[in-house]
Structure 1
């Protein structure tokens, strides 16, 4: 670990004068002075305790600003202050022969910057976290045989597969041309399963997304996790865990499915570039109105039995299945009245009905709503047109990637 600081130093500016610290009037001068003090300490031999204390003060002040009011009203300048605090804390942790626990704490600090802060200095913390991960991988011990056996058992478990009636099945088509997809599905807003369009993804081939692979590239990374079978449940909550903790607690759960948790995150691929390199944007997204940067890429990773209640989204959606299988049911927005959306503004895009166990007395018209359904398997990509209602249930351990575009 002795060379770790030299590696981190190599990605930092050469000296204090080249280290940028520019903020607008919304950041108080006293905070800017603390940032400058931490910058000076970065290029001097200040005591470790002093470096740590100054970094923590910056983090505490900016954290309070990030958690005052609604997130959309948080000024980006304060998110940048928070990221600078994270950078200074990582430097303090890694300066003097850090222990493995301190390096893991530094990785978590970088991840908190990605989740709560804003990019600084050409996203320097992404370079730093790659250095930290390399150190962790070098010292990581091989997984024991019992864990491999457990993973293998989960991967070969046979899910209960619903029978899809032909007249209700979402149509399938193999590698349609852009013109054909646009004319027959995009413009008329018709759901379809596209086959053969992601067979080239490394996630399905060279870097198969097994539990072992995810542990290797992302095990020590901190990510948001949804706890509960579905987000409409009263006991549903969110927490932060490392990917290893999530796998141990929710994927390798031995309680017979009584510990549901879901990793659902739109920042995962920016946070962990190794996973982003394993996927590709579907070519059909070029038919949209926005730029590539306007496409939102989401990760959905969880055990069998996890449910996304019947809901609709304001954008077009390609749902690509990488690992495992899912049962999905779709309803047209024309039948929204029969689906009984929640009246509250927060859940107005979500149905009150339990799709596979509906209450006929409370929701009598639901049975009259026509629908399509499908089983999505690895390599399948489901086109979910804008505002089409969709219900999703994982039949087994599942990893999906969705692309939201306009």
Structure 2
């Protein structure tokens, strides 16, 4: 198979999206729950800077995650919630990026749905090309979500209940990946924990406490790291643990999308993700019923 625009010493392959077919992608990557980096889907769309973002969706009011300057030096078990939320327009947030406030206070414009905005016209062709070449099917009602934040920000170690892709539109992100099979060594939170859900890890992988988390040492030996550059897309199969750091001192812009776990038997490779997926659907169903019947 033709691929790899970079050396093969990296543990995660880089494959041009133009060399793929749905059958090839399924047999080489999807069926084996194997991450891969897809290239050349967004050559005409990068970079996306704040001026372009503001011109497209500047007046859109969005929820911004406010972690605070001390959050990531505090043990995760002490977190009372994942983050606080502030409402502001995209333009207001971009102003905080430019003047350094977003970095100082750890403010992140995260997972903002862009499916019905003009921003979608910029990233959409590449997303649609990936869907065509891989056979991945969109997980409704999700379309595309934008992530914008300061360099140095880290999204803590967690896994998702669906297949996912992360596409880089400005700057570079370093992604640390761990297979679902080593979950116990990453110490997921118990269901009863009030702050973080069981798809989040209690550990800081770059500041490991082996006395408190002794199985972490073996888990770290399974860590795979990749620097995701502008125009590249990382396919993260269901259940793969990932921690994502925005590199550099400037800001980053990324887009993610969730995809159906096809075929459903692939959940056998990540049973904890099947439980998470079922619980999230039950939660949405209960809220839908509450809206309809007012109970």
Distance 1:373 1:363 in 2: 21
Residue aligning to 1:147: none
Structure 1 partner of 2:277? none
- Residue 191 of structure 1 corresponds to which residue in structure 2? 35
TM-score, normalised to structure 1, is 0.53
Deviations 1:53-92 (A, max 9, x none): xxxxxxxxxxxxxxxxxxxxxxxxxxxxxxxxxxxxxxxx
Distance 2:85 2:66 in 1: 6
Cα distance in 2 for partners of 1:196, 1:378 equals 10
Aligned length: 234
* Structure 2 residue aligned with 1:342: 189
CA contact (8 A) 2:164 2:258 kept: yes
> Residue 238 of structure 1: which of 58, 81, 85 is its match?
85
Unaligned segments of structure 2, at least 5 residues: 1-6, 261-295
Looking at structure 2, the residues matched to 379 and 239 of structure 1 have their Cα atoms a distance apart, in angstroms, of: 30
Unaligned runs of 5+ in 1: 1-164
**Cα offset, 1:244, TM superposition:** 1.8
More helix by share: 1
Return the match for 1:314 from 161, 169, 183. 161
User: Equivalents in 2 of 1:330, 1:244: separation in Å?
Assistant: 33
C-alpha RMSD over aligned residues:
2.6
Which of residues 226, 238, 241 is equivalent to 1:374? 226
Structure with higher RCO (Cα < 8 A, 6+ apart)? 2
Whether contact under 8 Å (1:253, 1:259) holds in the other structure is: no
TM-score, normalised relative to structure 2: 0.72
Deviation of 1:291 after TM superposition, in Å, equals 5.8
Deviations 1:40-59 (A, max 9, x none): xxxxxxxxxxxxxxxxxxxx
Contact 1:312 1:388 in 2 (8 A): yes
Q: Is the 8 A contact 2:114 2:143 kept in 1?
A: no
Q: Of Structure 1 and Structure 2, which has the larger fraction of its residues in strand?
A: 2
2:15 counterpart of 1:173 = yes
1:257 aligns to 2:107 (yes or no): no
Q: Is the 8 A contact 2:138 2:258 kept in 1?
A: no
Contact kept, 8 Å, 2:138 with 2:259, in 1: the verdict is no
Q: Is structure 2 residue 183 aligned with structure 1 residue 331? A: no
Aligned residues of 2:62 and 2:112 also touching (Cα < 8 A): no
Give the 5 Å matches for 1:88-167. Answer: none
